[in-house]
Structures are given as C-alpha cells and as structure tokens.
Amino acid sequence: MKPHRKKLIISFISLGICMVVLSFINSQSQFSTSCNIPSEEELTAAVFQAGTSYEIYEDNHMIMKQEGECLISLWNHRRDVDPTDLVNELGFNLIWSHDQPYSGQAWEETHMYSLLQIPGVKYVFAKIERAAWGWTHEQSLNHARWVAELSLEHPGILGMYLNDFYDEVEEGYRTEEQWREIIAAAREINPKLQLWVPHYPHRNQGRHAFDFDIDGVILNLWGNDPELMAHAKEHLATGLEHHPDKPVIAGLYLRSGSGGGRWLTEEEFKSVLGHYVEMVNAGKLAGLRIFSAGQFEERSQYIEWAKDVLSELNCPY
C-alpha cells in the first residue's frame, strides 16, 4: 500500500519520549567527561526504542490503533439497538456499523458517529452493503469515497468492510473488477483506511486468490449447525493458512443459518469463543467479532457466557 502522506520524522512526540531521550543522553555522559549530543540517527533510534504506539502523518492525521491492541468487536447493523450496555459489560472497542448509501447525510447523522459517542468504543468499521440487497455500483463507489474522506477527519473510522465479498461474485451480483473499482475509489482518497473482507472457510472460499488490495480478513463460520461448530478449530486453521501475511479477525454468530437459523448451545458458544480468545492471546488473531448486538438483546444469557470467556483475554483492548 503506497503511503498517502510522507511520514514525518520527529524527535519528540510526548513528554514520555522526551524522558527516554534525556535518559539516553544521560547514559552516554556516564562514560564520557564530555556530554556529547546524540546524532539524529541516535535520537531516532531512541524514539523507536520507546515503543511508541502511534504513526503520525502530515495534516495531523493520526492512526490511533495502538501496537499490540486487540480488536474485540461487535456487529451492530441495527440503528434501533443501543449497544452501550454491551460495551460496558463486555468491553467491545470496535463496532461494525451500517449506514445507508451516501446521499448527502451529515457526519453527525451517521450510525458511525453515534457509535463513536459510546464510552469505550474506540473504532468503527463502515460498510459497503451487498448489491444483492439493493446497493448499485455507483452507490457503492460514492459511499467508498465518502467514508474515505470522513476517515481523514475522524480516525475513529478504522476501516471499511466489503460485505460478503466473494459471495457477491459467486452469486453474480458483482464482478471482481467492480470490487477493484470500489477499493481503488477509497484508496485514492485515503490509502490508510483499512479495507476488510470476509472469508467463509467452510464454504471452500479458500479456492479464491484474495489477490485484492485489502488490509484484513474476517473468518466467518455461518450456519451454526452442530457439525460445523464441532469442526470450528479446523475451519479457522484452514482460513488462517490462506492469509499468512494479513491480520485476521475470527467471527462468531449467536444465531445463524437458513430457515431462521439456529442458536448456539452454551457449550458450543464457550468452546468456539474460548478458542478465539486463546488465538488472540497467542498473537495468531488480531481480534474477534460477535454477531450481533440485536441477538444479545434477544438472548441475554449469552452476555454472561461471553463475560466469562472474554475475561481470559490478556491483550489490551
């Protein structure tokens, strides 16, 4: 991914960095009667040794995600569902939002904006909705450009999700070239906006190349039938093998499947989510996602089950 703005080389970005540099200078003086001022290269090395968490770009645009921070995320495509209590109880720091295709709406009127007002929510993912559900290609292009422009001003917009990426192609609703055009439209405005796509490993989507200019992948297990959930670990491993060089989030549905879907049993839910937590703790996943806020409202027992499992996370979020 080509940089949109030239990175600034800085010597000091916070009082903490200043202290590191001063400590570096002091340590040098202990071995010399003359207090030599470190070179620019030595100062730069001292800054990087401090483990700074942010990248800084021109025009004060800052990528806010901290190093080592895991993404504990919630799908919430319904504007009539307020996930504030879920965020408070379960610690979600990223919410996957849903806005109508751009038609001139103000930032303050968006679902993204309202979700970022919730204490604890650091990030949102915007979404390009399925053409199968009514979005035209022109709407998708305009929406991608709009989200990319907003993300330059509002770094809480961490990324944009291209919904049911290969399903759209397999089912004839979009072409791969149309997806490339949507990706290019966003990249042209903000190359730093993360673009994420789904991969359903149990549907043999590993046969696809995923050779697009994308930043991350979510591995989804949709269907919730007992056979699928019994082999969740194998499906996750298969999906991860396909994306060795990209961050991956693992997704779990409380209820999914045809004909209204099936709710996961307590054992299934805790087992699969627990495996995701183990993988996040081991650094093999960038995070996890639970679908959805509305389903938590329907079956509140999942909140307590999730609380038990997520308490085992040992990464910052």
Tell me, yes or no, whether 109 and 257 share the same domain. Answer: yes
pLDDT tens figures, 70-129: 999 999 999 999 999 999 999 999 999 999 999 999 999 999 999 999 999 999 999 999
Assess whether pLDDT exceeds 90 at residue 29: no
Instruction: Mark whether 51 and 146 lie in a shared domain.
Output: no
Instruction: Provide the domain limits for residue 304.
Output: 68-310
Query: Cα–Cα distance between 177 and 191 in angstroms, integer?
Result: 19
In-domain check, residue 246 = yes
Give tens-digit pLDDT for 38-67: 343 433 333 233 333 333 333 333 333 556
Cβ 214 vs Cβ 208: under 8 Å: no
Look at residue 26 and tell me whether its pLDDT is greater than 80.
no
Checking if the pLDDT of 35 tops 60, the result is no
- Supply the pTM of this predicted model: 0.80
Q: Is 260 left (phi over 0), alpha (psi -120 to 50) or beta?
A: left
Pair 138, 211 in one domain: yes
| 24 and 171, same domain (yes or no) | no
CATH number for the domain spanning 106: value is 3.20.20.80
What's the number of domains the chain is made of? 2
Measured in residues, the chain has a length of 317
Structure tokens at 74: 């919630």
Same domain, 33 and 157: no
User: Strands 71-75 and 248-253, how do they pair?
Assistant: unpaired
Distance separating alpha carbons of residues 97 and 247, to the nearest angstrom: 20
> Which stretches does DSSP call E strand in the chain?
55-56, 62-63, 71-75, 94-96, 123-128, 157-162, 194-199, 216-220, 248-253, 255-256, 262-263, 287-291
In a domain? residue 251: yes
Are residue 39 and residue 122 in the same domain, yes or no? Answer: no
Nearest to 307 by CA among 85, 90, 84: 90
pLDDT attached to residue 67? 60
**Under 8 Å between Cβ of 196 and 159:** yes
Residue linked to tokens 């670990």: 233
